[in-house]
Amino acid sequence: DAEITQSPRHKITETGRQVTLACHQTWNHNNMFWYRQDLGHGLRLIHYSYGVQDTNKGEVSDGYSVSRSNTEDLPLTLESAASSQTSVYFCASSEFRTAVGTEAFFGQGTRLTVV
Amino acid sequence: AQKITQTQPGMFVQEKEAVTLDCTYDTSDPSYGLFWYKQPSSGEMIFLIYQGSYDQQNATEGRYSLNFQKARKSANLVISASQLGDSAMYFCAMREATISSGSARQLTFGSGTQLTVLP
């Protein structure tokens, strides 16, 4: 079965360190997204990609970067981790079949704590 | 401005009763889609139901139905015959179609409603 997986599931890191969260999907979807979830804010978009070599900034992109070298993977990098980046991170993917009609499939989430 | 508003941070419902979770949205795009996701305590995001802006009928999926009132820009989720397993966080989300807005193909989420089903 096709799926979308994130690793690690849990991560503790120190302030100032570079951290990379992995996202791998086997749906062969063009669209991939990274969200962060914080209490009271729902899910907010960090970065997204519509295909290989395409990346775009979302609502809360400061301090984060992504790269898309193949269809399956969209790693999220925190350049210099800050305590404000303690959050739960979700990766998602969706087909480009119609403009609005397809749901996004989510990974299991990564709980990141910056100490 | 908030594109998706969920005004109920928490809701309680008795088992076997119906419950309505509110969602209002803001868009000037004539073509858009509305989604509801469930997030149980285990953390995964589970897709529940979808409504397109041009759909004539309200969407239904088993015990879930979407009360879509386009003129009022509301897309409330109705869960009939609540079960203990329905206790979870519920998110309303929207995808707009207009490529030029830069927001096409991505979901914008509300802040969620925590539903607790009481035995």
Per-residue pLDDT of A63-76, as tens digits, reads 999 999 999 999 99
Pairwise CB contact (< 8 Å): B50 & A103: yes
Q: Is A109 on the interface with B (CB under 8 A)?
A: yes
Please write down the long-range contacts of A24-27, taking CB distance under 8 Å and 24 or more positions apart: A24/A72, A24/A73, A25/A72, A25/A73, A25/A91, A25/A93, A25/A105, A25/A107, A26/A2, A26/A72, A27/A2, A27/A3, A27/A93, A27/A95, A27/A105
Contact B6, B111 (CB under 8 A): yes
> Residue A56 has what pLDDT?
92
Pairwise CB contact (< 8 Å): B111 & A100: no
Residue A112: pLDDT band (50, 70, 90) is very high
Residue A100: pLDDT band (50, 70, 90) is low
Of B42, B9, B31, the closest CA to residue B96 belongs to B31
Query: What are the phi and psi torsion angles at A6 (to 5°)?
Result: -120, 145
Average pLDDT on B48-63 reads 93
A110 vs A90: CA distance, rounded Å? 7
For residue B57, give the DSSP letter: S
How close is the nearest chain B Cα to the Cα of A113, in Å? Answer: 16
| Residues of chain A numbered 3-22 and touching chain B (CB < 8 Å) | none
Is residue A2 predicted with pLDDT exceeding 90?
A: no
B92 vs B52: CA distance, rounded Å? 13
3-class DSSP assignment, residue A27: coil
Average pLDDT on A36-61 reads 91
Contact A76, A67 (CB under 8 A): no
For residue A2, give the DSSP letter: -
Q: Is A94 on the interface with B (CB under 8 A)?
A: yes
Is residue B104 predicted with pLDDT exceeding 90?
A: no
